[in-house]
Structure 1
Amino acid sequence: MDGSEVEGRLHVDAVLARLGGWGRHQALTAAMLALVYATNSMYNVNYVFAVEDVGYRCKIPSCDGSNASFMTPWLNASQSWSEAPVKQCWRPDVADCSPSNVTDLGDHACTEWIYEKPDSFIAEFGLACQDWKQTLIGTVHSFGNMLGLLIQGQISDRFGRKTAAVVAGSAGAVLGLSKSFARSFWLYVALEGLEAAIGDALSPMFMLSIEIVEKKRAVLFQMILLNCYTCGLIVMPFIAWAVPYWRNFLRVIYAPTLLILTYSFFLDESIRWLYSKGKKERAVQLIRKIARRNGVEVDNMMLDRLDYTEEDTKSNVSDKKLLMKTFKSRIMMQRFLVCMVWWFTITLINYGMMISAVHIAGNKYVNFSLLMLMDIPANVLYWLALSKYKRRLPLLVSFFVGGLFCISQPFLPKGYAWLGLTLFMAFEMLATFSYNIVYMYTSELFPTYTRNSMHAICSAVGRVGSLVAPQTPLLMSYWSGLPTFIFGMTSIASGCLTLLMPETARAELPDTVAEAELIGRKPLLKKQTAETSIT
């Protein structure tokens, strides 16, 4: 008899185990999820290439001939391209067209510019000498994503993982394509914020991915999908390289997600969510459908014993009461606060690293792709580590070791640039490793009926890190090693807080607050038969 059985009832994991770990149903679902994972990674940071930084200089009719190139007449015979002024916001002395003769900036203010790439985002919207507008795109995306996570979490927990994912994915495709037709900078900013707020399908898709398989197989399933996410990041810079015009680049990366509209017919809902909402009949129908698809048998006696009797799972209990019940628990609140610090740290570090990648000397497309390539061994290491060493220990080690790597980088001898780059790439791998664990760990700490909401709130509040990340390069004016030093210190602080968290690896996914509170106190192998009703 299954260990999860008590007083004639079975836990959902028992049925999921019976349905098989990797059958036809899981493979088809993974294929649909893979598209969302791969494209979502591009949408989160596509502005790095769509809104790329380009050179510009002041246009002076008396100096510029009809056939003048971008840099002429600024280049002397002894100057190379890299030595020439790439950006100029004021006019040189018209007498010799040399910027070195500028004596009064106010008297030589520039009103018209020549751009290195006339069809670039910066040129089309006339953003010369307005660098803040360029960085605003990433900030608005991060802020919209922060608000969107709160919305998506509520929709997912109330209406289902499938509904939230299909609506968000379809909206993201439409809004993303709309950006490519924008003729106003502020319209583009508004569409960027809307897309991030209502067009991010990853959160509900992630919940669906960990709930369609039994707990012990969730890490392997997630590792496969995370590599799809990484592949999107690796491929994106080469798409930008092959399709340099920013409007066409956006159309190429957003068009595939129009397929998500068809998921309404092919994607199945989470069995766990259906049972947590008291939708037993729909859940049983779905179980039988999956059993037929995978070629396995599930007897009626097992399905009859799979039931929820707690007050929390009754359909007449509001989602607001369930969320408030979660927050009223001291244990849940402690976990929530730690998770927020985790999320701030991983978003600050990961977005900071990606932004830094395009500023490394060399081909920015290749550099970005190579840095993202480090995520693949991080994903595999994530699967191996969590399979053997549970959750807390790998996260603790990655936070501490990654933090030490980052703190030590500014103090390396100047003549060992290769060593600094090696530490940078090692830290990127550990940062991704930490990100993956936090994503999984957070989802295992809270009950099913508020799991996506709590996960989304933690992620949304933590997104403050992604808002701060674009500004970290400014700290280099005080000390070149200050950004990486801050990354390292926040990583170590998060590692210390990890000591306060319970181990979740051997516990079943909790469905109620009472079950969630038991994690870390004793093995959660048996379901509780009742829970205090909501007052």
Structure 2
Amino acid sequence: MAELNDQKSIHLDDVLEQLGAFGRHQLVTMCMLALVYSTNSMYNVNYVFAVEDVQYRCRIPACEESNDTTFSMPWLMNSSEQQESVKQCVHYAPVPGCREFNTSELVQCSEWVYEVPDSFMAEFNLACEDWKQALVGTVHSFGNMLGLLLQGQISDRFGRKTAAVFAGTMGALLGLTKSFATSFWWYIALEGLEAAIGDALSPMFMLSIEIVEKKRTVLFQMILLNFYTGGLIVMPFIAWAVPYWRHFLRVIYAPTLIVLTYSFFLDESIRWLFSKGRRREAIKLIEKVATRNKVKLDKMMLNKLEYIDEETRTELKQKKLLLKTFRSKVMMQRFLVCMVWWFTITLINYGMMISSVFIDGNKYINFALLVMMDIPANVFYWLALSKYKRKLPLLASFIVGGIFCICKPFIPKGYAWIGLTLYMAFEMLATFSYNIVYMYTSELFPTYTRNSMHAICSAIGRVGSLVAPQTPLMISYWSGMPTFLFGVTSLLSGALTLLIPETANTELPDTVSEAEMIGKPSVKDPVDGNEMTRLSQ
């Protein structure tokens, strides 16, 4: 403490270090964040089970009414099983066993019988319209892409807490409303709207990385990411236990209504308060956290707390702050690389989760087993970033994962276990890359536009998640095309990573000038002697 008092100024990270990373305040906040992380993971891909593939066949009234027990007609599947073409959906040739029809006769098919009568496909009569199933996932990703742009602006302008409470509450309400949809297009509209304004993860993530000192953010994130993975693991078992899609949606969306109470219990980001010039509120919150964590802070230290805030002093509006960020050539280069990163990780992660339900066996268990690979990936993420910083682990995961994926289609059929092993290993590396990119992107841009830039990179990169629901359709051209595509984009992202500076030992930048300093020669940290780039003007 004496060393801190001897300094001419105190940096915010120094104060956050004094407050601790796992005191009572942080643990209570983590519990609130954990609910959003675990439920948000379900909301992003629940359509995999809600809008599931169901077998169907042409309905022939005379045969349906017949009591002939020998009557048997084969189920038709949608394009995922590679049927001949639309021809099978337009006409159906009755099979032997139905006495009312000649086997050579073709019948115009206008009605369908579904294997699961109360399924999403059956209720909205989607037989032979495979594109409508894929449209649900695509619309969700498109809505999410637009929503990230909106959420980033709300979060940077009105605060992380305000954005998170609004999005979390709207997500729960729209998700529940979606379960009462009476038509396919009404469902699609609600799906897009929920994804656009009901995703609370982005502002919650920003709050989570700003609540603790820089050195503790990776560990803090690793714990929360396991809650995210936990939600994905639990989801298929909920779908298995509650197979009716309307009830399934109500079960997973109802718990998030509790986010509305966060208005009273969740505290704003101290760093965001400072970035908006609300120093008095920030100091008051620091004192509140110190009291809750039973930490004694020297008031002289708080008086010396320095927070460079040139943009607030000039009273620039948020749009001007974004323009200032984009006018920087350094920021623009990082932005372009981050877009490619985000395209790659969303394409691969969503594509692999969607493809998992087409693997032979129990689709619920297959999905859960694949997602369980995320747990070692999350732990590996913490260990690797603690020792090897950010750049090297991300580079290695993109390159190695890309090689694995490109090799998989060329594995001989007799060695299917090798292909499955590569697939599982690539899933772990894909999650590992996703985690790093989420963190890395947030550390490359200044505080006053951090959530906005993170959201823009994520939103534009979500083109990958728009493409992901369509990847199973590529199998009709070549069975290895989806994984080959995943591998090529992964290698490209790895190459571009070489253009980005290391951020592990730098404080979170608060201005464009500070952000541009990242990667410059470091100096000894006056507090603990570690190398730390002091971002100052």
TM range (shorter): over 0.9
**Per the alignment, do residues 49 and 8 of structure 1 end up closer, same or farther by CA in structure 2, a change over 3 Å counting?**
same
By how many angstroms is 1:66 displaced? 6.3
The within-5 A match list for 1:68-147 is 72-74=71-73, 89-93=90-94, 97=98, 108-147=107-146
1:225 corresponds to which residue?
A: 224
| Distance (Å, rounded) in 2 between the aligned partners of 1:250 and 1:91 | 35
**Per the alignment, do residues 309 and 53 of structure 1 end up closer, same or farther by CA in structure 2, a change over 3 Å counting?**
closer
Deviations 1:259-294 (A, max 9, x none): 000000000000000001100011011101100100
By how many angstroms is 1:525 displaced? 3.4
| Distance (Å, rounded) in 1 between the aligned partners of 2:263 and 2:328 | 36
Q: What code does the residue aligned with 2:52 have?
A: E
The within-5 A match list for 1:188-207 is 188-207=187-206
The residue matched to 1:64 in structure 2 has which SS? helix
By how many angstroms is 1:171 displaced? 0.2
| Distance (Å, rounded) in 2 between the aligned partners of 1:102 and 1:291 | 82
2:148 corresponds to which residue?
A: 149
Q: What code does the residue aligned with 2:533 have?
A: L
The residue matched to 1:57 in structure 2 has which SS? strand
2:15 corresponds to which residue?
A: 15
**Per the alignment, do residues 251 and 350 of structure 1 end up closer, same or farther by CA in structure 2, a change over 3 Å counting?**
same
2:383 corresponds to which residue?
A: 384
Native 8 Å contact 1:92 1:100 kept in 2: no
By how many angstroms is 1:305 displaced? 1.3
Native 8 Å contact 1:92 1:99 kept in 2: no
Deviations 1:392-420 (A, max 9, x none): 00000000000000011011111011111
The residue matched to 1:154 in structure 2 has which SS? helix
| Distance (Å, rounded) in 1 between the aligned partners of 2:215 and 2:23 | 16
The within-5 A match list for 1:432-451 is 432-451=431-450
By how many angstroms is 1:92 displaced? 2.4
1:533 corresponds to which residue?
A: none
Among 525, 531, 534, which residue is 1:526 paired with?
Answer: 534
Greater Cα offset, 187-196 or 89-98 = 89-98
Deviations 1:272-323 (A, max 9, x none): 0000110001101110110010000112111111143542133722111111
| Distance (Å, rounded) in 1 between the aligned partners of 2:13 and 2:535 | 11
**Per the alignment, do residues 287 and 98 of structure 1 end up closer, same or farther by CA in structure 2, a change over 3 Å counting?**
farther
1:457 corresponds to which residue?
A: 456
**Per the alignment, do residues 47 and 487 of structure 1 end up closer, same or farther by CA in structure 2, a change over 3 Å counting?**
same
| Distance (Å, rounded) in 1 between the aligned partners of 2:514 and 2:102 | 74
Native 8 Å contact 1:166 1:260 kept in 2: yes
Q: What code does the residue aligned with 1:275 have?
A: F
Deviations 1:482-519 (A, max 9, x none): 21111111101110100111000000100010010010
Native 8 Å contact 1:91 1:110 kept in 2: yes
| Distance (Å, rounded) in 1 between the aligned partners of 2:271 and 2:388 | 26
Q: What code does the residue aligned with 2:221 have?
A: Q
By how many angstroms is 1:521 displaced? 1.2
The residue matched to 2:303 in structure 1 has which SS? helix
2:495 corresponds to which residue?
A: 496
| Distance (Å, rounded) in 2 between the aligned partners of 1:301 and 1:277 | 22
The residue matched to 1:415 in structure 2 has which SS? helix
By how many angstroms is 1:166 displaced? 0.3
By how many angstroms is 1:324 displaced? 0.6
- 5+ residue gaps, structure 1: 77-81, 530-535
| Distance (Å, rounded) in 2 between the aligned partners of 1:68 and 1:452 | 65
Q: What code does the residue aligned with 1:90 have?
A: H
By how many angstroms is 1:103 displaced? 6.7
**Per the alignment, do residues 151 and 4 of structure 1 end up closer, same or farther by CA in structure 2, a change over 3 Å counting?**
farther
1:213 corresponds to which residue?
A: 212
| Distance (Å, rounded) in 1 between the aligned partners of 2:188 and 2:392 | 42
1:79 corresponds to which residue?
A: none
| Distance (Å, rounded) in 1 between the aligned partners of 2:98 and 2:387 | 67
1:280 matched to 2:279: yes
**Per the alignment, do residues 68 and 434 of structure 1 end up closer, same or farther by CA in structure 2, a change over 3 Å counting?**
farther
| Distance (Å, rounded) in 2 between the aligned partners of 1:410 and 1:500 | 30
Q: What code does the residue aligned with 2:107 have?
A: H
**Per the alignment, do residues 262 and 310 of structure 1 end up closer, same or farther by CA in structure 2, a change over 3 Å counting?**
closer
Q: What code does the residue aligned with 1:470 have?
A: P
The residue matched to 2:113 in structure 1 has which SS? strand
**Per the alignment, do residues 267 and 250 of structure 1 end up closer, same or farther by CA in structure 2, a change over 3 Å counting?**
same
Native 8 Å contact 2:507 2:535 kept in 1: no
The within-5 A match list for 1:2-41 is 8-41=8-41
Native 8 Å contact 1:58 1:89 kept in 2: no
**Per the alignment, do residues 365 and 68 of structure 1 end up closer, same or farther by CA in structure 2, a change over 3 Å counting?**
farther
Q: TM-score, normalised by structure 2?
A: 0.92
2:395 corresponds to which residue?
A: 396
2:54 corresponds to which residue?
A: 54
Q: What code does the residue aligned with 1:51 have?
A: V
By how many angstroms is 1:11 displaced? 1.5
| Distance (Å, rounded) in 1 between the aligned partners of 2:248 and 2:314 | 46
1:428 matched to 2:436: no
**Per the alignment, do residues 102 and 94 of structure 1 end up closer, same or farther by CA in structure 2, a change over 3 Å counting?**
closer
**Per the alignment, do residues 385 and 312 of structure 1 end up closer, same or farther by CA in structure 2, a change over 3 Å counting?**
same
Structure 1: 4+ residue segments shifted above 6 A: 1-7, 66-69, 98-104
State the superposition RMSD in angstroms: 2.4
By how many angstroms is 1:127 displaced? 1.0
1:532 corresponds to which residue?
A: none
**Per the alignment, do residues 5 and 129 of structure 1 end up closer, same or farther by CA in structure 2, a change over 3 Å counting?**
farther
Q: TM-score, normalised by structure 1?
A: 0.93
The residue matched to 1:416 in structure 2 has which SS? helix
Native 8 Å contact 1:64 1:73 kept in 2: no
Deviations 1:47-74 (A, max 9, x none): 00000110111111111136689x9522
Q: What code does the residue aligned with 1:444 have?
A: E
By how many angstroms is 1:98 displaced? 9.8
Q: What code does the residue aligned with 1:274 have?
A: L
**Per the alignment, do residues 403 and 94 of structure 1 end up closer, same or farther by CA in structure 2, a change over 3 Å counting?**
closer
Native 8 Å contact 1:60 1:91 kept in 2: no
| Distance (Å, rounded) in 2 between the aligned partners of 1:218 and 1:28 | 16
Native 8 Å contact 1:4 1:525 kept in 2: no
| Distance (Å, rounded) in 2 between the aligned partners of 1:126 and 1:410 | 35
| Distance (Å, rounded) in 2 between the aligned partners of 1:256 and 1:67 | 47
Greater Cα offset, 191-200 or 485-494 = 485-494
By how many angstroms is 1:462 displaced? 0.4
| Distance (Å, rounded) in 2 between the aligned partners of 1:183 and 1:408 | 45
By how many angstroms is 1:129 displaced? 1.3
Native 8 Å contact 1:50 1:250 kept in 2: yes
| Distance (Å, rounded) in 1 between the aligned partners of 2:255 and 2:136 | 23
2:265 corresponds to which residue?
A: 266
By how many angstroms is 1:90 displaced? 2.8
